[in-house]
């Protein structure tokens, strides 16, 4: 494992968007994808009255981040869960609403740097890719047992791999001789399956396949479709949500859900909104923010990041604050 400090993505922008909500007296923030804890550390440092619940499905990440944030005492509350369980985590810790919530989606730098986890195509490791090591489904199972048509769908949809049929054909031919069990073996198969001309640009040709497998193994898109509405419902009036996504499908789900909450549901032509049809959120980002060049120089892994933020402007569906 690489012990170098991990750099939180778009930290200044995250802090700026969350500050009005995180600075309220007795505010509660949820870092729904805790990872190495960099964003949480910055929030807790910037707002001495803030409590942060840090959620992660990865027990190793939770343990390491908890050690990093131990100096904040009971202002930091760790919770092992998947981020679509925010309402359950709030209730379990005596809260009904949150003031600020951050989602930093996808695989963390810490997970990428742990060779044995099998997330990185540039290092040889078992084909695992589980964010929660207790889950049964692994990338090895997907690669060696899924039907060819399903593999093509996954690579096209989750990896946006235009050569998906060629890649899957190479996988099927190889696994017929022996199971594919290592990340380097899979990366070599993918590289050889993609035409030479297409390999000259765009970085490692295996990155799209590895991304697609990781999303499938961890059910990331289905989880996100549940998690964002649940978090928005749990946000108190004046509360804020920030989402960092790294994949066009994640960003599309985010954009559509936030836009839906930010518009009126009243019939067109009425002079005022009917009760219960008013917008419930205000968009803080009209378009997704992207990393600055300074950010890219400091942290090249931030390149695909897209940030969207919104603020609750109407009464929430949940009453009260801490109980």
| DSSP tag of 176 | T
pLDDT at 320: 39
- To the question of whether residue 56 is assigned a binding role by annotation, the answer is yes
pLDDT at 318: 43
Q: Residue ranges of the domains in the chain?
A: 11-110+220-312, 114-218
- To the question of whether residue 37 is assigned a binding role by annotation, the answer is yes
Pairwise CA distance, residues 49 & 32, whole Å: 19
User: In a 10 Å sphere around its CB, with 0-12 CB exposed, 13-18 middle and 19+ buried, how is residue 40 labelled?
Assistant: buried
User: What is 114-218's CATH topology?
Assistant: DNA polymerase; domain 1 (1.10.150)
Q: Walk along the chain (323 residues) in steps of 10 and give the mean pLDDT of each run.
A: 63 97 97 94 98 94 94 97 96 97 77 51 80 92 98 95 96 97 92 86 82 93 96 97 94 96 73 71 96 92 93 65 38
Pairwise CA distance, residues 76 & 294, whole Å: 30
Whole-model pTM?
0.86
What is 11-110+220-312's CATH superfamily? Vaccinia Virus protein VP39 (3.40.50.150)
Pairwise CA distance, residues 12 & 5, whole Å: 17
User: What are the tens digits of pLDDT across the range 137-164?
Assistant: 999 999 999 999 999 999 999 999 999 9
Residues 18 and 31: beta-carbon distance below 8 Å:
no
Strand order in the sheet with 98-104: 76-80, 51-56, 28-31, 98-104, 235-245, 306-312, 281-283
CA-based R_g, the chain, Å: 21
- To the question of whether residue 111 is assigned a binding role by annotation, the answer is yes
pLDDT at 319: 40
User: What are the tens digits of pLDDT across the range 225-240?
Assistant: 999 999 999 999 999 9
User: What are the tens digits of pLDDT across the range 277-286?
Assistant: 688 999 999 9
- To the question of whether residue 39 is assigned a binding role by annotation, the answer is yes
How big is the CA angle at 141 (ends 86 and 57), to the nearest 5 degrees? 20
How big is the CA angle at 121 (ends 39 and 215), to the nearest 5 degrees? 60
Of how many residues is the chain composed?
Answer: 323
Nearest C-alpha neighbor of 37 from the set 66, 74, 59, 70: 66
């Amino acid at each position: 494992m690489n012990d170098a400090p991990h750099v939180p993505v778009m930290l200044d922008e995250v802090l700026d968007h969350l500050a009005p909500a995180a600075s309220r007296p007795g505010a509660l923030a949820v870092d729904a994808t805790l990872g190495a804890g960099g964003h949480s550390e910055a929030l807790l440092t910037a707002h001495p009255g803030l409590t942060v619940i840090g959620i992660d499905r990865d027990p190793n990440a939770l343990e390491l981040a908890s050690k990093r944030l131990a100096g904040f005492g009971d202002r930091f509350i760790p919770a092992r869960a998947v981020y679509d369980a925010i309402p359950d985590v709030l209730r379990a810790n005596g809260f009904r609403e949150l003031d600020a919530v951050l989602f930093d989606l996808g695989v963390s730098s810490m997970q990428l740097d742990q060779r044995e986890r099998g997330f990185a195509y540039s290092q040889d490791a078992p084909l695992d890719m589980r964010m929660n090591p207790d889950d049964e489904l692994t990338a090895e199972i997907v690669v060696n047992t899924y039907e060819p048509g399903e593999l093509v769908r996954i690579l096209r949809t989750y990896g946006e791999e235009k050569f998906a049929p060629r890649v899957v054909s190479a996988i099927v031919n190889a696994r017929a001789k022996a199971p594919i069990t290592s990340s380097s073996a899979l990366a070599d198969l993918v590289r050889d399956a993609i035409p030479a001309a297409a390999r000259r640009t765009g970085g490692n040709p295996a990155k799209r396949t590895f991304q697609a497998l990781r999303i499938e193994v961890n059910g990331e898109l289905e989880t996100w479709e549940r998690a964002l509405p649940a978090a928005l419902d749990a946000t108190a009036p004046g509360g804020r949500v920030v989402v960092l996504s790294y994949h066009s499908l994640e960003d599309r789900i985010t954009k559509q859900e936030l836009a839906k909450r930010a518009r009126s549901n009243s019939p067109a032509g009425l002079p005022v909104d009917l009760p219960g049809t008013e917008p419930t959120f205000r968009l803080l980002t009209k378009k997704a923010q992207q990393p600055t060049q300074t950010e890219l120089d400091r942290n090249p892994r931030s390149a695909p990041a897209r940030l969207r933020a919104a603020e609750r402007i109407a009464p929430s569906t949940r009453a009260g604050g801490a109980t």
